């Protein structure tokens, strides 16, 4: 009996791109989904193809090379850090391959365009009905001590949540925010030199206020495991 299993891992990375028309380089970033595939007979004794923990451990050295780093700084990805190039690069790093290893697939987790969606209220969390959109960007936290992974240039695909008194203004203001944030190096935006989730939430709050939307809460989700909500009452500084 043959089966295929998939272990999914997420990496948070930056990329260096070139604007051919303008002739300059810039940084962006996003989350990537990496699917590690194993295939083989199902063990009569253990009931699996391979332990998911073994699959994760096999990939771990490569994960540590990628996560919270800039892909374009890695030998072999300087000129092409696309998902296809990254997939081939990962495959090369994994040699020699165990008999059960069947491949790796890489998917950028990044929005194609601005898409505003409505989120229901979460009474238990004290959150009203909100609107949300995704954007991808590069960032680093230079204020952190050397050795901290977030000090390195990396990137995320963020989920931004907003609840405002003036809901009618949110489509146009949200689109403007998306254009200011998506595909950018956040640290280069005034006020985001320390681009923590908290700082981003306060920055967005101030932007909404300045544009008359009267924010109630702003949420920033960096990864599926980490998010921040800001309710106002604190000056950004």
Angle in degrees, CA 155, 161, 167, rounded to 5:
140
Long-range contacts at 16-19 (CB < 8 A, ≥ 24 apart): 16/70, 16/72, 16/73, 16/81
Tokens at 153, concatenated: 């240039």
pLDDT at 23 over 70: no
d(C-alpha 195, C-alpha 217), whole Å: 18
Q: What is the mean pLDDT of residues 81-103?
A: 94
Residue identified by tokens 């998010």 is: 227
pLDDT of residue 234: 55
We find that the CATH architecture of domain 117-230 is 2-Layer Sandwich (3.30)
Question: What pTM was computed for the model?
Answer: 0.91
Output the six-digit token pair for 88: 């081939």
- Tell me the pLDDT band of 236, cut-offs 50, 70 and 90: very low
Q: Provide the 3-class DSSP secondary structure of residue 182.
A: coil
CA 87/CA 70 separation, integer angstroms: 15
Q: Where are the domains of the chain?
A: 2-109, 117-230
Q: Give the mean model confidence (pLDDT) for residues 157-168.
A: 95
What percentage of the chain exceeds 90 in pLDDT? 89
Which of 22-36, 59-73, 126-140, 200-214 is the least confident region?
Answer: 22-36
DSSP code at position 165? S
Confidence of residue 233 (pLDDT cuts 50, 70, 90): confident
Same fold yes or no, 2-109 and 117-230: yes
Radius of gyration over every alpha carbon of the chain, rounded to an integer in angstroms:
20
pLDDT for 175 beyond 70: yes
What CATH code would you report for 2-109? 3.30.479.10
Q: Which helix (H) or strand (E) holds 219?
A: strand 215-223
């Amino acid at each position: 009996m043959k089966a295929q299993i998939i272990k999914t891992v997420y990496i948070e990375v930056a990329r260096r791109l070139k604007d051919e028309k303008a002739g300059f380089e810039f940084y962006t970033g996003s989350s990537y989904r990496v699917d590690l595939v194993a295939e083989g007979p199902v063990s009569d004794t253990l009931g699996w193809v391979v332990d998911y923990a073994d699959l994760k451990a096999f990939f771990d050295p490569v994960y540590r090379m990628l996560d919270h780093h800039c892909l374009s700084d890695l030998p072999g990805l300087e000129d092409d850090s696309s998902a296809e190039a990254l997939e081939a690069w990962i495959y090369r790093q994994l040699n020699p391959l165990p008999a059960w290893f069947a491949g790796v697939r890489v998917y950028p987790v990044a929005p194609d365009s601005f898409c505003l969606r409505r989120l229901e209220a979460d009474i238990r969390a004290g959150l009203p009905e909100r609107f949300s959109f995704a954007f991808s960007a590069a960032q680093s936290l230079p204020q952190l001590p050397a050795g901290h992974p977030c000090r390195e240039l990396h990137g995320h695909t963020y989920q931004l949540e907003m609840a405002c008194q003036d809901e009618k203004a949110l489509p146009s203001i949200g689109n403007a925010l998306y254009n200011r944030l998506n595909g950018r190096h956040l640290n280069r935006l005034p006020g985001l030199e320390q681009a923590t989730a908290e700082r981003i939430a306060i920055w967005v709050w101030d932007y909404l206020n300045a544009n008359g939307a009267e924010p109630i809460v702003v949420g920033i989700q960096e990864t599926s495991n980490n998010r921040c909500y800001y309710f106002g009452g604190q000056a950004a500084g």
